[in-house]
Amino acid sequence: MGSDTDSDLSEDTRRRLESALAAVFRRTPIHVTLDLRLGAIDGWDSMNAVTFTMEVEQAFEVSLGETIFTRDQTIAEVLQILYDNPRPSERPSGSA
């Protein structure tokens, strides 16, 4: 309990990430940590990169436009991109 996830991840964030990972890979990595490189996930390839990006958009209710996550990015970098893209309801009026 807790040993499998990074203590810096909130329960909600961990749940959303695990949901996206499970949707793509049919399982979650044993250790979801902030420094986990996406390419270290067994089965990561370019098709799964696109699918993971779409699943993350859904799980976190954001629109990432043309963003596609790459094998060299970490979970921390994924989260930073998500936090830099507010949910549509949180955008100031007149924003795309």
CATH number at residue 20: 1.10.1200
Question: Does residue 55 form part of some domain?
Answer: yes
What is the total count of domains within the chain?
1
Question: Does residue 32 form part of some domain?
Answer: yes
- pLDDT band at 45, cuts 50/70/90? very high
**Quick check: 34 pLDDT over 60?**
yes
Q: How far, rounded to the nearest angstrom, does the alpha carbon of residue 94 sit from its chain's CA centroid? A: 27
Q: How far apart are CA 92 and CA 87, in angstroms?
A: 10
- The Cβ of residue 11 has, within 10 Å, a number of other Cβ atoms equal to 9
- pLDDT band at 5, cuts 50/70/90? very low
Q: What is the mean predicted confidence (pLDDT) over 46-67?
A: 94
Residues 35, 74 contacting (CB under 8 angstroms): yes
pTM of the model: 0.79
Q: So what's the pLDDT on residue 88?
A: 64
Question: Does residue 94 form part of some domain?
Answer: no
What's the token pair of residue 49? 């990169």
Question: Does residue 1 form part of some domain?
Answer: no
Q: Which domain holds residue 47?
A: 11-87
Question: Does residue 71 form part of some domain?
Answer: yes
Question: Does residue 5 form part of some domain?
Answer: no
**CA-only gyration radius of the chain, Å:** 13
